Chain A
Amino acid sequence: MKKKQLSKDPYNIVITGVGGQGNVMASRLLANMLVRKGCQVTIGETFGASQRGGSVMSHLRVSAESVWSPQIPKGRADIVAALEPVEALRVLMRYGNPGVKVLTNTRPIYPVGVIAGELDYPSPEEIRATVKELSAYAWFIAATDEAIKLGNPILGNIVMIGAIAGMGELPIAREDFREVIVSSMPAEKLDVNLKAFDIGVEKVKQ
């Protein structure tokens, strides 16, 4: 029964971003939603030094019945969700394939080498074109900007989770998000989180 809910087994999701963006929180929220639905989920992530401005990546393996390795094999991502645009490219370079679906938050965080003028950061157009070229479907969402409108940039992650749910690839819905949020956050934050989630769902449908 559960098998029908996943188009592939294992289903592989990469959530990527920059240290400090709340990558770990986002991957755990999503995973908890999936576990609620009876899936076996393995998350692979590392933190520590990577929090300090480095690239951060979480691998989610979703399966009906089996525990999978916390590292996705090369070329085997099904969804890439990038909290930062250039990180989408970095992940595609190793885990991409012609069938991958990519969700990109459009707000850049410049590496220190770019700030210092030693490295170049690609233009929004270049990023768009590259992501499109390397994926089957690509969505670009101004998640951080939407979140700032809601009063807190960190909600950008929730917008992204909403967007992942909105893609319709995984057996999760708003109710699962609600349940998970209720058990992990103070009650007064519920509404704004749900709002952010809904924005994500809506954006991916547009």
Chain B
Amino acid sequence: MMSKLIEQKEGVQYLLMGNEAIARGALEAGVSVACGYPGTPSSEIIETLSKVAKEGNLYVEWSANEKVAMEVAAAASFAGLRSLCTMKQNGVHVTSDFLLHLAASGTRGGMILVSCEDPGALSSVNEVESRYFAPMIEIPLLEPADFQEAKDMTRWAFELSEEIRNIVMVRSVTRLSHGSGNVSFGKLPDTKRQAEFKSDGPILDPDEGLVFSAPVVYKHQLQQEKIKRAREIFELSPFNTYQGPEKPELLLITCSICYLYCREAISLLGVKERVGVLKFGTTWPLPPELLKRHLSLTDNILIVEEVRPFLEEHVKILAAEMAPEIGIKTFYGKETGHFPSVGELNPDLVVSALSKILGVSSYIGMPPDYEKKAEMLTSTRTPRRDLIFCPGCPHRASLWSIHNALQMDGRRGFVCGDIGCYSMAILSPSCGFGTMKTLHSMGSGTGIASGFGKFGQFGMEQPVLTVCGDSTFYHAVIPALINAVHHAANMTLIVLDNGGTAMTGFQSHPGLTVNAMGEEVPAVDIAKICESLGVRVEIRDPFDLEETRKVINRFLEEEDGVRVLILRQICGLSPEKKAGKRYEMRVDEELCLGENCGCNRLCTRIFRCPGINWDKEKKKARIDEVICAGCGVCSFICPAEAIKREEAA
């Protein structure tokens, strides 16, 4: 299925996910190097490219973090190659330090940054935007509106980058990245470029001089000229389109997937004759002449975008400047409350904003009597589905032991958390036993714990724990751990090592012996890194509940400095695990005491692995063989020893 990505057949239509379309666009542009750090919804771009790395002669890497990914991709550009760097919205913040220097030094081979954002935080712990980095760092920003554009614009972004000799940012959103649609293919280039880094020409020569942001004011000036050039190009860009009547009553200005919501809303309301849509593919810097022409069409403008009013702000600034020529306009959008200022949009929200402004009230989404009936019939019959750890997940076992150890310790110890599947430990009671009390960015659990670990002098007596995953360890925990060690913070770091970047689909990281392209590479050992910092390290199997709990309790009692416990057990979803069950499980109905046992159904009420169900009629626990992953852990938690495990054949 994946090899269709390097299909030569021009003009043929394929069903592609937005991220696959971005990958195909990069291939059509002749990209040589692709780097990124996994993060939903961005991960499939690198994943797709990694699968065609051999055939396409690409170098593809999952880097240790986003900043490093950007640095590797920049090296490619400096060597004259075309390169791509991908990440989710948070990643742009991680990489921003390097990015601001890169934007000043400029690039050589076409280089693009693809930032995939998550309006509505469908799978993130924030819905922050990275679009504001474009004006802040002064680089151009493109936003594809559908699947075909995701491909075409990506391809074109490389050309733009070479034209202005600077990095270009392409922004996608979850609904585009993870949506799919028809994409018709263009040509793949026949040849690839050779890499050569030239650095001994005249110092300021953009092709052969130093790659460097000084002389700063001169380079800054140059950077702004590049932006000016981009703006000129954008005036004529075919990615900026207008559809609608010559003199619309209302002009919608939109970008990204919101364009499709606008089209849908107009069609639902049947107001094609009254409303025009100006869709920007180039959202920063906005081309003023183009904007002026369209603002002149009407006096009423509705701006449709997610999440922050980015377009809205920039359009208004330009409109203010143009006011003497185009007159005073009325703007509707987030600032006027026609759209919510948080969360993602959808066609219905655009319908309601449009109806309000146009005074249309004929549209009915769902017949009211049906709606009433549906509400009445379903409200009590659709039990909530909380997020949970998968059956067989090692984190459930680890957090069970951590939770029990903290309870046993009794000094109100707590866990500072980090980003990964185990972030769900912040949920209570559905998941992770509510052990996690702080959750911010990658690596912050350890940084925060390193702070808490110093507050003994202010009377803090609670033991401090922090957890991180293996991928996160390499990403951002190492500097925080060094800080904790150097300052002798009193804390325990537990590395939940499940052998991959599980949250985002099991991408490789520096701890593994295989890279993104499936080649064998040296693994960097977490335990050895910690030992080299002078930290005491122990390694356990989290499925051995009792032993794990004991080690944690021992660590909690220690008073000085940092200790590290590595809990190593492979992710329940890893291909290796999925292949077969280790144990066949069953509940001995004779032994199961259910509500009558002292624990009051410890297995289903507290431990909550979805593989164990509560049989209401029999009042006994029962294993659901379709769901149970056969890890065997629940056999240790049942005080009546009713859950039996047998080595699977």
* Binary per-residue interface labels of chain A (39-56) against chain B in the complex, 1 for a CB within 8 Å, 0 otherwise: 011111111111011110
Contacting B at CB under 8 A, from A122-141, are: 122, 126-127, 130, 133-134
Q: Which of B140-182 contact A (CB under 8 A)?
A: 146-148, 174-176, 178-182
Which residues of A lie under 8 Å from residue B503 when comparing CB positions?
48
State in angstroms the CA–CA spacing of A67 and B374 once bound together. 30
B224 CB, nearest partner CB in chain A, Å: 37
Partner of B421, one of A52, A86, A98, A133: A52
B506 smallest CB distance to A (angstroms): 12
Closest residue of chain B to A27, judged by CB?
A: B180
Residues of B within 8 A of A74 (CB): 348, 365-366
Q: Please give, as numbers and ranges, the residues of chain B lying within 8 Å of A121 by CB-CB distance.
A: 383
Considering the chains assembled together, what is the distance between the CA atoms of A86 and B373 in angstroms? Answer: 17
Q: Give every chain A residue within 8 A of B257 (Cβ-Cβ).
A: 69-70
Q: A67-B182, A76-B365 are in contact. Are A28 and B347 (CB under 8 A)?
A: no
* Pick from B13, B365, B373, B606: contact of A133, CB under 8 Å: B373
For residue A181, give the distance in angstroms from its CB to the closest CB of chain B. 11
A54 CB, min distance to chain B CBs, angstroms: 5
Contact present for B181 and A40 (CB under 8 Å): yes
Name the residue of chain B whose CB is nearest to the CB of A55. B385
A52 touches B367 (CB 8 A): no
A70:B179 contact, CB within 8 angstroms: yes
Kindly provide the distance from the CB of A27 to the nearest chain B CB, expressed in whole angstroms. Answer: 8
CA distance A150 to B322 in the complex (A): 69
Q: Is A92 an interface residue (CB 8 A)?
A: yes
Q: Bound complex: CA of A121 vs CA of B504, how far in Å?
A: 30
Interface size class of chain A, counting residues whose CB lies under 8 Å from the partner chain: 35 or more
Q: Is the CB of B424 within 8 A of A52?
A: yes
Residues in A neighbouring B377, C-beta threshold 8 A: 89, 130, 133-134
| Contact in complex: B387, A49 (CB < 8 Å) | yes
> A168 contacts the other chain (Cβ, under 8 Å)?
no
Other-chain residue from B174, B260, B387, B614 in contact with A117 (beta carbon distance below 8 A): B614
Q: Are A73 and B268 in contact (CB under 8 A)?
A: yes
CB atoms of A35 and B366 under 8 A apart: no
Contact B175 A35 (CB under 8 A): no
Does A179 lie at the interface of the complex (its beta carbon under 8 Å from any beta carbon of B)?
A: no
Within 8 A of B (CB), among A65-110: 67-76, 86, 89-90, 92-93, 96-98, 107, 109-110
How distant is the Cα of A177 from the Cα of B261 in the complex, in angstroms? 31
Is A171 at the interface (CB under 8 A from chain B)? no
B373, A134: Cβ atoms under 8 Å?
Answer: yes
The answer to whether A43 touches B260 (Cβ under 8 A) is no
**What distance in Å separates the Cβ of B609 from its nearest Cβ neighbour in chain A?**
9
Q: Chain A: which residue is nearest B18 at the CB level?
A: A70
A89-B381, A112-B610 known; A41-B182 Cβ under 8 A: yes
Q: Cβ of A89 and Cβ of B382 under 8 Å apart?
A: yes
Tell me whether A190 is interfacial, beta carbon within 8 Å: no
Contact A53 B610 (CB under 8 A): yes
Q: Mark A13-51, 1 if CB is under 8 A from B, else 0.
A: 000001010000000100110010000111111111110
Complex Cα distance A68/B610, Å? 37
Q: A52-B390, A71-B175 are in contact. Are A130 and B180 (CB under 8 A)?
A: no
Proximity string of chain B (30-43) to chain A, C-beta cutoff 8 Å, 1 when within and 0 when not = 00000000001100
B180 lies within 8 A of A31 (CB): yes
In the complex, the answer to whether A73 meets B387 with C-beta atoms within 8 Å is no
Which residues in window 120-155 of B have CB below 8 A to A?
Answer: 122-124, 146-148
Q: Could you tell me the distance between the alpha carbons of A203 and B559 in the complex, rounded to whole angstroms? A: 66
A144 and B122 in contact (CB under 8 A), knowing A43-B180, A46-B178, A113-B383?
no
- Inter-chain CA distance A89–B374, complex, in Å, is 8
Q: Is the CB of B374 within 8 A of A52?
A: no
Given A49-B387, A73-B264, check contact A112 B430 (CB 8 Å): yes
Collect the chain B residues with CB atoms within 8 Å of residue A127's CB. 381
Residues of A within 8 A of B15 (CB): 28, 31-32, 35, 41, 43
Residue among A31, A71, A144 with most chain B CB within 10 A: A71
A52 to chain B: which residues have CB within 8 Å?
A: 387-390, 421, 424
**Interface presence of A206 (CB below 8 A):** no
Give residues 569-618 of B contacting A (CB, 8 Å).
601, 604-606, 608, 610, 612-614
Near B by CB (< 8 A), chain A positions 175-198 give 183-184
Q: Which residues of B contact A183 (CB under 8 A)?
A: 1
Measured between beta carbons, the chain B residues less than 8 angstroms from A44 are 175, 179
B75 to chain A, nearest CB (A): 30
Q: What residues of chain A lie closer than 8 Å to B381, measured between beta carbons?
A: 86, 89, 122, 126-127, 130
Q: Determine how close the nearest CB of chain B comes to the CB of A194; give it in whole angstroms.
A: 18
Give the residues in chain A near B351, CB-CB below 8 Å: 73
CB neighbours (8 Å) of A41 from chain B are 15, 180-182
B122 touches A67 (CB 8 A): no
- Interface positions, chain B 4-18, Cβ under 8 Å from A, are 13-15
**A1 within 8 A of partner (CB):** no
Contact of B386 among A28, A111, A120 (CB under 8 A): A111
Interface pair A110/B366, CB less than 8 Å apart: no
User: How far, in Å, is B558 (CB) from chain A's closest CB?
Assistant: 34
Which residues from chain B contact A117 at a C-beta distance below 8 Å?
Answer: 601, 604-605, 614
Do residues A40 and B375 form an inter-chain contact, with CB atoms below 8 A?
no
When the two chains form their complex, are residues A20 and B390 in contact, meaning their CB atoms are under 8 A apart? yes
**Would you give the shortest CB distance from A19 to chain B, in whole angstroms?**
8
Closest residue of chain B to A53 (Cβ to Cβ) is B388
Q: How far is the CA of A115 from the CA of B370 in the complex (A)?
A: 31
Q: Report chain B residues within 8 Å CB of A107.
A: 626
Query: In the complex the two chains form, is A68's CB within 8 Å of B382's CB?
Result: no
CB neighbours of B178 from chain A (8 A): 45-47
Give the Cβ gap from B240 to chain A, nearest Cβ, in Å. 18
Q: Is B384 part of the contact surface with A, judged by Cβ < 8 Å?
A: yes
With CB as the reference atom, state the residue of chain A lying closest to B595.
A117
Whether A75 pairs with B1 at a CB distance below 8 angstroms is no
A115 with B383: CB separation less than 8 A = no
- Chain A CB within 8 A of B457 CB: no
Q: Contact partner of A45 among B179, B182, B348, B612, CB < 8 A?
A: B179
**Smallest CB–CB gap between B360 and chain A, Å?**
15
Q: Are A42 and B180 in contact (CB under 8 A)?
A: yes
Q: A42-B180, A53-B387, A70-B175 are in contact. Are A116 and B370 (CB under 8 A)?
A: no
Query: Provided the pairs A53-B386, A73-B264, A117-B604 are in contact, do residues A42 and B181 lie with their beta carbons within 8 angstroms?
Result: yes
A170 CB to nearest chain B CB (Å) = 15
Residue B547 at the A interface, CB < 8 A? Answer: no
* Complexed CA–CA distance, A93 and B372 (Å): 9
14 contacts between A and B (CB under 8 A): A41-B15, A41-B182, A48-B504, A68-B264, A71-B347, A74-B348, A75-B371, A113-B384, A116-B429, A116-B608, A116-B614, A120-B383, A133-B377, A183-B1
Which residues of B are interface residues toward A (Cβ below 8 A)? 1, 13-15, 40-41, 122-124, 146-148, 174-176, 178-182, 257, 260-261, 263-264, 268, 346-348, 351, 364-367, 370-371, 373-375, 377-390, 421, 424, 429-431, 503-504, 601, 604-606, 608, 610, 612-614, 626-627
Across the A-B interface, the 4 shortest Cβ-Cβ residue pairs: A48-B123, A75-B366, A48-B40, A70-B179
> 8 more A-B contacts (CB under 8 A) besides A75-B370, A116-B605, A184-B1?
A49-B123, A49-B387, A52-B424, A71-B347, A98-B370, A107-B626, A130-B381, A134-B377
